[in-house]
Amino acid sequence: MLAIAQSHLSAHADLVVLKLLDAENMPSVATHSADAYSISLRLKICDRRLALQEALRVLKPGGRLIVLEVSNIPWFFAHRLYLLYMSVCMPVLGWLATGGDALAYKYLLQGIRDFPSAEGLAQEMKQLGFTEVDFERLSLGIVAIHTARAPGLADEESFGC
């Protein structure tokens, strides 16, 4: 994914740096040094609180956080059907796709079951100190994109300057 992003951003290589790092601990990234921080489908497999605290640490004041993560379908019956599909069909498809190893699909289901709702993740982000926290559900709510800012955004931006 980084190679693809790098190729798309090659014209802006002097402005954009892409790195693969441990979300919970990034000592090579200076405090308040990043304009933006993006993480995709990883908060369910790491210590979510540590990862979000580290994102907050490295973001400049007013820096943008963008998180794509599993979510909940807001309609109870549809969400239950989705979980049933993930618990019955996905392991079988995973077993077929991997030639007999469905462990990755079992871990995926556990991550979905244990992950907070979109509202719950937004609340966690607010509690950690992020501002302007918002989210948008995609694919009926199977995933959501959360956005937030590190506190300290200059007042000029709110006035359109």
More confident: 136 or 156: 136
pLDDT at 159: 38
- Reported as half-sphere exposure (CB side, CA atoms, 13 A), residue 100 has a value of 0
Confirm if 130 and 150 have CB atoms less than 8 A apart. Answer: yes
Residues contacting 22, CB < 8 A, separation 6+: none
Residue range 50-100, pLDDT digits in tens: 999 999 999 999 999 999 998 888 888 988 888 888 877 777 777 777 777
pLDDT at 88: 78
Domain layout of the chain by residue ranges = 2-71+115-158, 73-114
State how far the Cα of 106 lies from the Cα of 27, in Å rounded to an integer: 32
Residue 136 belongs to what H/E stretch?
strand 131-138
Nearest partner of 79 among 135, 136, 48, 87, judged by Cα: 87
- State the pLDDT at residue 102: 65
Question: Does the pLDDT of residue 22 top 50, yes or no?
Answer: yes
pLDDT at 31: 95
pTM of the model: 0.78
Q: Is 51 helix (H, G, I), strand (E, B) or coil?
A: helix
Average per-residue pLDDT for the chain: 85
Architecture of the domain spanning 2-71+115-158? 3-Layer(aba) Sandwich (3.40)
